[in-house]
Amino acid sequence: MTLVEIRTRSPEKTQVVGRAIGENARAGDLILLEGELGAGKTCLTQGILWGLGGNEYARSPTFVLMAQYAARLTLHHVDLYRIESAIEAAELGLDEVVSGDGVTVVEWADRAGGMFEGQGLRIRLALVTESTRSLTLSTTDVRYSSAIEAARLAERDGS
């Protein structure tokens, strides 16, 4: 198990960390985001999209549940905030999206119950102060090693 904690001191720095993750993303990557409202999940996703080469401004798809963005790899941005059970999450057909050739970012991934157990790169975002966020990256899959290392370097160089 790899476990790394990163601190960012502004939304822009959170985006810089996300950009580093996106630049190192590969087809089939699954990035699972957890954290309270306002912790920076969408902000991190914006950086991931920009790191993938997208030029749009990713917005939280809370009401549509899923959005797609064109980039080097398609970014599938899923928001499970309104999901009330793991069964409801399973009915969305997320397994097809996750097994595709794009990159999938799931906000509120913890609402899917055990659906993603042992999969992907899990990032827990927490508010430390009004401007500081703690990002805890964890995975059991070595495929995310370069993304984690890039995120660590981005924190050191840009925070």
Give 62-118 pLDDT, tens digit per residue: 666 888 999 999 999 999 998 888 788 878 877 777 767 899 999 999 998 888 888
Q: CATH for 2-158?
A: 3.40.50.300
Q: Please report the sign of the dihedral spanned by the C-alpha atoms of residue 114, residue 86, residue 137, residue 132.
A: negative
Beta strands at 2-8 and 30-34: parallel, antiparallel or unpaired: unpaired
Break the chain into its structural domains and give their ranges. Answer: 2-158
Question: What are the backbone dihedrals phi and psi of residue 148, each rounded to the nearest 5 degrees, phi first?
Answer: -65, -45
- Tell me, what's the pLDDT at 108? 94
The amino acid sitting at 137 is L
pLDDT tens-digit series, residues 25-75? 999 999 999 999 999 999 999 999 999 999 998 887 766 688 899 999 999
pLDDT for 159 beyond 50: no
